Amino acid sequence: LKDIETINGASLVVENGLGLEEGMQKALGEAREKGVKLFTASEHIKLRKVGNGEGIPSGDPDQAVGAEDPHLWTDPSAMKDIVVALAGEISADFKVDLSKRRDDLVKRLASLDAEIASETAALPPARRTLVTGHESMGYFAQRYGFKLVGAVVPSLSSQAESSAAELATLKEKILDNKVPAIFTELSENASVADALAKETGAASVPLSTHSLPKGGDYFAFIRALGKSITDALGK
Ligand SMILES: [Zn+2]
């Protein structure tokens, strides 16, 4: 309720879009009707869609080829596009000059992107494999040349479920691709991921993919993400 008040009283609401704010759809729609300005981040990037042969086949429409992936924040270069668009929007709406802060942030994001690119490039290509809790790392994979082998929940949504047959397929793909680590995303299906890791000999590694570290900013978040991945796959 407090959130709804905050949204309705806001001068500008920034949302991710593409269904990420599932639980808030109604509140956001009502705010829009009331005339609250909304900025939808995913409208300002090159959208990633689920590609052929990606992950494991599942009946989930969220994992069908062509489904639009909302996890844009795992690619710092996409965030750059959003910063430019958002700075433009705020400048126009509130008549403030944000060009200096925009340029500074764009520069920092470009250097973060270069940093992760060089770190991940040090991994042998065969080790650039991702198995995650759900299919949340597509933008990262696309940017830095990783293969999306599969996910414990074969869907873009963490709310979906996996069947025994899907888990068996995933296990096979983990073995075929000699995947060194399974990244269990905090809170979801950690026990299933742990069991898969045991059965395949892969390490089970917690990975924070959807929330900023305590006291940390986006830069700390991406650095931690990159480091967990390169550490676990480089072993
Ligand atoms: Zn997600």
What value does the mean pLDDT of the chain take?
94
pLDDT of residue 24: 87
**pLDDT grade, residue 25 (50/70/90)?**
confident
C-alpha 201 to ligand 1 mean position (Å): 26
pLDDT of residue 188: 63
Q: What is the mean pLDDT of residues 34-40?
A: 95
pLDDT of residue 201: 97
C-alpha 114 to ligand 1 mean position (Å): 24
Q: Which residues contact 39 (CB under 8 A, 6 or more apart)?
A: 12, 13, 14, 15, 85, 86, 89
C-alpha 38 to ligand 1 mean position (Å): 21
Q: What is the mean pLDDT of residues 84-97?
A: 96
pLDDT of residue 187: 63
pLDDT of residue 229: 98
Residue 59 has pLDDT above 90, yes or no: no
pLDDT of residue 76: 98
C-alpha 133 to ligand 1 mean position (Å): 9
Q: What percent of the chain has pLDDT over 90?
A: 82
Which pTM does this prediction carry?
A: 0.94
Q: What is the DSSP letter of 213?
A: P
Dist CA 230 CA 121 (whole Å): 9
C-alpha 134 to ligand 1 mean position (Å): 7
Dist CA 216 CA 12 (whole Å): 24
Residue 143 has pLDDT above 90, yes or no: yes
Phi, psi of 131 (to 5 degrees): -120, 125
Residue 62 has pLDDT above 90, yes or no: no
Contact at 8 Å (CB) between 209 and 136? yes
C-alpha 139 to ligand 1 mean position (Å): 12
Per residue in 97-124, pLDDT (tens digit) is 999 999 999 999 999 999 999 999 999 9
Nearest CA to 70 out of 40, 31, 25 is that of: 40
Q: What is the DSSP string of 25-70?
A: HHHHHHHHHTT-EEEEGGGGS---BPPTT-S---S-GGGSTTPBP-
**pLDDT grade, residue 161 (50/70/90)?**
confident
C-alpha 94 to ligand 1 mean position (Å): 32
Locate all alpha helices (DSSP H) within 53-163, ordered by sequence.
Answer: 76-94, 99-121, 138-144
